[in-house]
Amino acid sequence: MVANKNNPIIRLMTGLLLLLSASLANAGPLTDLDGTAASINDYTGKDKWLVVMFWASDCHICNKEAHQYVDMHARHKDGNINVLGVTTDGMENKAAAQVFITENKLNFPNLIGSLEDIAGMYYDLTGNQWVGTPTFFIYNPEGKLRIADAGAIPAKLIEEFIEENS
């Protein structure tokens, strides 16, 4: 039996599959701080490891640890590692996010999204519930997610993992 493409159930299922694949391909509803749509995938698969640091402006640990990732990015930006920040502050708290970026001298690109959207993206990509910030994703140079981990991770451990897996 040949499926009828005009069948409403087939059309609904096709639409849902397209939405799901688009959601996964875009890796979440993020923007840059100017409001332009962006995706983590815009930064992956560029023959470099990508360390994604999820942060919030009111996260004490994020504020305390940010310098490590600034230094790591500076050491490796012309090498094999890039850092990308993603804040869960949402556009309604964009001013607080910009203060965090300035005060911590973040020297790498940063995206912004709502906590709810980022938690949904995290679940879609990992199958796990969002825990909070800081959280890290590490993508290999081919763009495959290798690590998703909640909590502070010393930059030195990230660098050792990348060195051992390069």
Q: What are the pLDDT digits (tens) for 104-114?
A: 999 999 999 99
pLDDT per residue over 11-67, tens digit each?
444 444 434 433 343 445 899 999 999 999 999 999 999 999 999 999 999 999 999
Distance between CA 1 and CA 18 in Å, rounded? 23
pLDDT for 29 equals: 85
pLDDT for 8 equals: 55
User: Which tokens sit at 150?
Assistant: 């909640």
pLDDT for 115 equals: 95
pLDDT per residue over 114-154, tens digit each?
999 999 999 999 999 999 999 999 999 999 999 999 999 99
From residue 71, give the alpha-carbon distance in Å to each of 50, 87, 115, 155, 159. Answer: 15, 19, 26, 9, 12
Predicted TM-score (pTM) of the model is 0.82
Report the interhelical angle of 60-76 vs 155-164 (nearest 10°): 40
Domains plus CATH for the chain? 28-164 (3.40.30.10)
Q: How many CA atoms lie within 13 A of 2 on its CB side?
A: 3
